[in-house]
Structures are given as C-alpha cells and as structure tokens.
C-alpha cells in the first residue's frame, strides 16, 4: 500500500476542483487531501482514475461515492471532533476514513458481507478507527444510540423511522431521499424535539439504492 508524490499531486488537483465546484469547508477538504483514495479502489482496473471526480465500481455491484458527493455530504454534516456518528453504507470505507480523519466516533453499517469484510480490514490496516457492522442500515444501531449525526450514503426511498429515533435531539441526519431509478434529493433533518424535525433539501444526486435486509448472495 503506497501513497506516492504522484498520488499526492493528483489529490491536490482534485481538491482544487472540489473548491471550484463550491466546496468551502476547509477542514473537510484538508481531510480529503490527507486520505489516499486510490487505496480504497478494490477493483484495480480503475486505479488510475482514483483522482477523477467520479464514482467507480468497487465490486458486489456497488460504487465508491464521487469525491464531490463525499465532500458535499460531509460539509452538510458539519462534523465536530468526538461526535458520535452512524454511517449507513460503509462501501469502500473511503467516506468512513474521511469521518475518522475528522475525529468522529464512528459506527458504520454495510449490508454486503464481502464489502463489509474488505472495508473493515482496510480501515484497520490504515489505522482509521471505526466500528464496522454487517447488517441492515434501516434498523440503525439501537445499542449505541443516540447519535449526534447520521449519514446515509445510499439512496433511500424514505427516511427510516429507526434512524429518526436514534438521532439525538439537537443532532442532524444527512440522507439522499428519492426513488430508485431516478435521482435522490439530498435532505437534512435537524432533530429539534423528540418528534419534530426541521427538514431542508440541498440539490439532486444519484446513489446506489438503499436495499432492505442483508445480502446473502455473496
């Protein structure tokens, strides 16, 4: 696992591109500058494209999110050190690494067993601290609730009730909501009271679908 000067140079260009596209949170950009995204490309056929602002296949029919999307979602979260966060859709583990770099206390769930194992191993090897779980994100992780922040990185048909319940009052959830075939609306829910949320929408994105139950096919 190497991170060369060439990779760092490509990363710098990518960060500049994200800035031009409107990402303003310097803490998030700094974290992304530090993380070797190419090491999260399980499918080595695409390795040379790791620093393009695109989503790419990581096996099991899934993708590593586009850097702009990672930067945008993470900025919306307004992450603070030591905050407890629940992430749904570990995938490659790249977004998880960004959250770890920002000093968050992470609980992350992936429904594809093969991906769960790969990202858990990789994050551990790279020294990023996160509790990785294999399971269905619709149920959240009640045992560790409430969370200051919840981040969903797959397209949800609706906001799952369990996730609403597991968010702390005063906390924020960032979740792409919409139908499976089209686009999702990037949505934030601020929990202002036990059953009261302030909701706002921040543009359209395309994610792989948030599917129910765990995958037993691999």
Of 153 and 188, which has the nearer Cβ to ligand SAH?
A: 153
Give the range of 18-26, 45-53, 123-131, 136-144 binding ligand SAH by CB under 6 A. 136-144
Number of residues engaging ligand SAH in binding (CB under 6 A): 23
Phi first, then psi, for residue 191 (nearest 5°) are -85, 105
Among positions 25, 74, 75, 112, the unique one binding ligand SAH when judged by CB under 6 A: 112
Distance, C-alpha 48 to centroid of its chain: 22
For residue 122, state whether it binds ligand SAH (rule: CB under 6 A): no
CA dist 35 to 31, 65, 199, Å? 7, 14, 31
Contacts 24+ apart (CB under 8 A), 104-107: 104/79, 104/80, 104/149, 106/130, 106/131, 107/131, 107/133, 107/141, 107/144, 107/147
Distance between CA 96 and CA 83 in Å, rounded?
A: 14
For residue 14, state whether it binds ligand SAH (rule: CB under 6 A): no
For residue 92, state whether it binds ligand SAH (rule: CB under 6 A): yes
Cβ 175 vs Cβ 199: under 8 Å:
no
For residue 10, state whether it binds ligand SAH (rule: CB under 6 A): no
For residue 111, state whether it binds ligand SAH (rule: CB under 6 A): yes
For residue 76, state whether it binds ligand SAH (rule: CB under 6 A): no
Of 79 and 137, which has the nearer Cβ to ligand SAH?
A: 137
Give the range of 13-21, 22-30, 84-92, 141-149 binding ligand SAH by CB under 6 A. 84-92
For residue 160, state whether it binds ligand SAH (rule: CB under 6 A): no
Among positions 77, 115, 163, 167, the unique one binding ligand SAH when judged by CB under 6 A: 115
Q: Least distance (Å) from ligand SAH to the CB of residue 196?
A: 25
Give the range of 9-17, 44-52, 106-114, 164-172 binding ligand SAH by CB under 6 A. 106-114
Cβ 10 vs Cβ 51: under 8 Å:
yes
Look up 65 and say whether it is catalytic.
yes
Among positions 14, 23, 50, 64, the unique one binding ligand SAH when judged by CB under 6 A: 64
**Binding site residues, ligand SAH, CB under 6 A:** 62-65, 88-89, 91-92, 94-95, 109-112, 115, 136-138, 153-154, 208, 210-211
Residues classed as catalytic: 65
């Amino acid at each position: 696992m190497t991170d060369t000067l060439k990779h760092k140079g490509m990363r710098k260009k990518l960060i500049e591109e994200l800035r031009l596209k409107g990402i303003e949170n310097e803490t998030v950009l700094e974290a992304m500058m530090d993380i070797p995204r190419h090491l999260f490309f399980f499918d080595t056929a695409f390795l040379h494209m790791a620093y393009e602002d695109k989503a790419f296949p990581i096996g099991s029919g899934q993708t590593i999110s586009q850097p702009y999307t990672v930067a945008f979602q993470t900025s919306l979260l307004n992450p603070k050190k030591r905050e407890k966060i629940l992430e749904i859709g570990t995938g490659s583990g790249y977004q998880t690494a960004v959250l770890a770099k920002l000093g968050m206390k992470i609980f992350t769930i992936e429904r594809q067993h093969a991906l769960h194992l790969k990202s858990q191993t990789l994050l551990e090897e790279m020294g990023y601290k996160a509790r990785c779980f294999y399971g269905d994100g619709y149920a959240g992780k009640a045992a560790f609730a409430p969370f200051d922040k919840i981040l969903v990185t797959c397209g949800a048909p609706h906001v799952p009730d369990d996730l609403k319940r597991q968010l702390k009052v005063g906390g924020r959830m960032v979740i792409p909501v919409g139908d499976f075939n089209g686009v999702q609306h990037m949505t934030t829910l601020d929990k202002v009271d036990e059953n009261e949320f302030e909701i706002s929408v921040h543009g359209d994105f395309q994610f792989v679908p948030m599917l129910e139950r765990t995958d037993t096919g691999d």
